[in-house]
Amino acid sequence: MTDYTDALAGITQTALDACDPTFSAGRSGIYAYLTIGRMHGVCVTFADRHDVNGEVPSLIRDGVVLRFLIPRGASLDDLVLGLAEGGHLSTLIDTVLEGHVLTLGPDSATGRLTDAAAAARDDLLETIGALGPLAHFDDEAFDFADTAPELKVFWSMPDFADFADFDCDGVPA
C-alpha cells in the first residue's frame, strides 16, 4: 500500500471550492483533477479540460495518463484520508498502476489497463465523484429555492463519475 497524500502538496480547500461549477464537453474552465500514470506518478492539478487546441490532451487521450475530475467543493480532508496509506483511493490507485501497461514508441506512447485495473479505475471514478458536497444531498429534502444558481446547475447534472470517465474512455481495457 502506498501513501499518495503528497499529491495534495499546495492544494487548499479554498482552491477546491473555487473550481468552475459547471462541466460540459464544449465549455472551458478550471477544474481539479487527480492524475495518475505509470511514468507520471500521482498528483492533483488544476487545469482546463482541453489543451490549447481545444482537444483532450494527447497523454490522456492515448491512455498514458488517467485523469479523474474532482468535484467542486470536494473535502480536502476526505481526499487526505483517501490518499493516505491504506485509504480507499490509495488502494484503488495501486491497483490501477499495477495494471497500467504502457507501449512506448519513438514518436508516441499508448496505455491500456488490465481487467483488474479497469475495474479499479471504474471504482475510482465513482468514489471520487461521490466526494462532491452535492453527492450527499437527499433530493427530496433539498430546497432548490434557497440554492445558489451555480448549485442548481451542478445538481441537475449527471453523476461526476460520468464526466470523469470521458477522459478515460481512450484507455483500451
- Map out the domains of the chain as residue ranges: 5-168
Which tens digit of pLDDT belongs to each residue from 96-109? 999 999 998 898 89
Q: What is the DSSP letter of 44?
A: E
Question: What pLDDT was estimated at residue 24?
Answer: 54
Which tens digit of pLDDT belongs to each residue from 117-171? 999 999 999 999 888 875 444 444 334 334 333 333 333 333 333 334 333 333 3
Question: What pLDDT was estimated at residue 162?
Answer: 38
Mean pLDDT of 72-81: 92
Position with higher pLDDT, 62 vs 168: 62
Name 119's Cβ contacts closer than 8 Å, sequence gap at least 6.
none
Mean pLDDT of 18-42: 78
- Buried b / exposed e across 122-144, counting CB within 10 Å, b at 16+? bbbbbbbbebbebeeeeeeeeee
Question: What pLDDT was estimated at residue 81?
Answer: 95
C-alpha 12/C-alpha 56 separation (Å) is 26
Q: Which residues pair with 41 in a beta bridge?
A: 37
Cell of 154: 451542478
Q: Residue 27's pLDDT band (boundaries 50, 70, 90)?
A: low
Judged against a pLDDT cut of 50, whether residue 2 lies above it is answered with: yes
Nearest Cα to Cα of residue 124 among 85, 97, 157, 103: 97
